[in-house]
Amino acid sequence: MPGFIKPQLATLKLKAPSGEGWIHEIKYDGYRAQIHLDKGTAKVFTRNGHDWTKWFSHMAGSFKLRSQTVFDGEIVVVHEGRTNFSELQADLAKGRQDRMLFYAFDILFHNGEDLRGTPQIKRKEILKELIDMLDPPVLFSEHLEGDGHELFEAAARLNYEGIVSKRPNASYHSDRNEDWLKIKTVQRGKFPVVGFAKDPSGVAALCLGKREGKDLVYMGKVGTGWDWTTSGKMRKALDTVVSPKSKLSKQLKKTQGNMG
């Protein structure tokens, strides 16, 4: 079994890619997770490589396969028909795990074989065969082929976070690149900045809110499509307006929300 594998990240774009040569998935609003299964015993790692198995013990116990496999995916809570990061955070704060689901969208290693050099579409075929042997809360992330605009429009109508478009013949690379693109539906409205995630010299991501009646609720993070210069300028501007009091109607845990 390999150790933690740094995940591949998607590049933020304003429009879904058109034409053939892409597959498209729903973008989930949850925690990126890497599941390391070793003959019936699973560990759950965050996108930064932290072992959070104790926080997701029910999820870890759902992987009953006697294989050695590394899954890549997203842990979510579905609320009112869509994945909801705020609800997931609330459940974590309460120690509640019964609503959590894991949507597997990639497989990196299986029974001694490093699959990262295998084309994306083939990896998903292998992944689906394994997930079909498991029961919820472990689910396969379905995809569509071809033009992504139709799926994006459907995601926008359903108030989903967006879509992720992937090149079907690409290998898996542990960095941010344009083999994976993310297109967020939140760009269609007005979403005030309610916080930010820091990096050493700039801004890693902006935390956005949305007005729902009289409440200002947390919608999720948008980021890192900026160059170093822009990121540094944003950090300087945001540092001057940081308030010790959150404007959100429902407070988030600082360690969970990465609020700056």
Cβ-based neighbours of 1, under 8 Å, separated by 6 or more: 36, 38, 68, 70, 109
Q: Which of 226, 128, 117 is nearest to 179 (CA)?
A: 117
DSSP E strands in 28-160: the ranges are 31-38, 41-46, 68-79, 82-83, 100-110, 113-114, 138-140, 144-145
> Amino acid identity of 81?
G
**Cβ atoms within 10 A of the Cβ of 43, count?**
17
Give 260's strand partners: none
Question: Which residues are catalytically annotated?
Answer: 27
Over the stretch 34-72, which tens digit does the pLDDT of each residue have? 999 999 999 999 999 999 999 999 999 999 999 999 999
Q: Going from the N-terminus, what domains does the chain have, and what CATH number goes with each? A: 9-185 (3.30.470.30), 189-257 (no CATH)
User: Tens digits of per-residue pLDDT, 91-140?
Assistant: 999 999 999 999 999 999 999 999 999 999 999 999 999 999 999 999 99
Closest CA to 101 of 74, 81, 128: 74
pLDDT digits (tens, 9 = 90+) for 70-93: 999 999 999 989 999 889 989 999
DSSP state letter for 138? E
Q: Which residues contact 218 (CB under 8 A, 6 or more apart)?
A: 85, 86, 194, 207, 208, 209, 248, 250, 252, 257
User: What is the pLDDT confidence band of residue 207, given thresholds at 50, 70 and 90?
Assistant: confident
